Amino acid sequence: MSFILDARLEQDSLHLADLPLCQLRLSHDARYPWLLLVPRLAKVSEVFDLSAEQQAQLWQEVSSVSALWQCVTAADKINIATLGNVVAQLHVHVVARFQTDAAWPAPIWGRGEAEVYPAEMQQNLIALLKQEVLKKETTAQHWTWLV
């Protein structure tokens, strides 16, 4: 069985890069700088469905992306979560939060309507992320960019 991305995740986010285990995706919702990591594995829904090695790789990628995202966004707080109550396919949210954002201090999920990015703003975020990744050579060599 091969990995098939959930249709809602595909619709709601842009495929930025492939990391060793996960697809890295950027949410189309401009209200929050919001990344998603989706392990390229078939039929997994819970973290503990993964092997110990896969779990370690997943969390390593989540931690690494979280630190990079903090550098890119200068967020007040990074929120990390895997919920999956709506979309069962295992995916991890990494969200840059600001005391001035629309939902602060509440979680972002299930509130209000998504807003569309001005194209240059999304491109800027991606360019900044690429710059941050390039500063970390050992990280960069394991990432394959799709954008």
Q: How far is CA 102 from CA 28, 82, 144, in A?
A: 16, 21, 33
The least CB distance from residue 31 to a second copy, in Å, is 15
* Residues contacting 138, CB < 8 A, separation 6+: none
Q: How far is 24 from 15, CA to CA, in rounded Å?
A: 6
* Closest distance to a second copy from the beta carbon of 27 (Å): 16
Q: Contacts with a second copy: how many residues (CB under 8 A)?
A: 32
For 7, list phi and psi in degrees, rounded to 5. -60, -35
Residue range at the interface with a second copy (CB under 8 A); choices 27-35, 36-44, 100-108, 138-146? 100-108
d(CA 82, CA 71): 22
Q: Residue 143: helix, strand or coil by DSSP?
A: coil
Contact call for residue 20 and a second copy (CB under 8 A):
no
User: Is 113 among the residues that bind a second copy (CB under 8 A)?
Assistant: no
DSSP label at 90?
-
Pick the binder of a second copy from 5, 107, 130, 136 (CB under 8 A).
107
Question: Under the criterion CB under 8 A, does residue 109 sit at the interface with a second copy?
Answer: yes
Site string for a second copy, 56-75 (x = CB under 8 A): x--xx-xxx-xx--x-----
Q: With respect to a second copy, which residue has the nearer C-beta, 4 or 56? A: 56
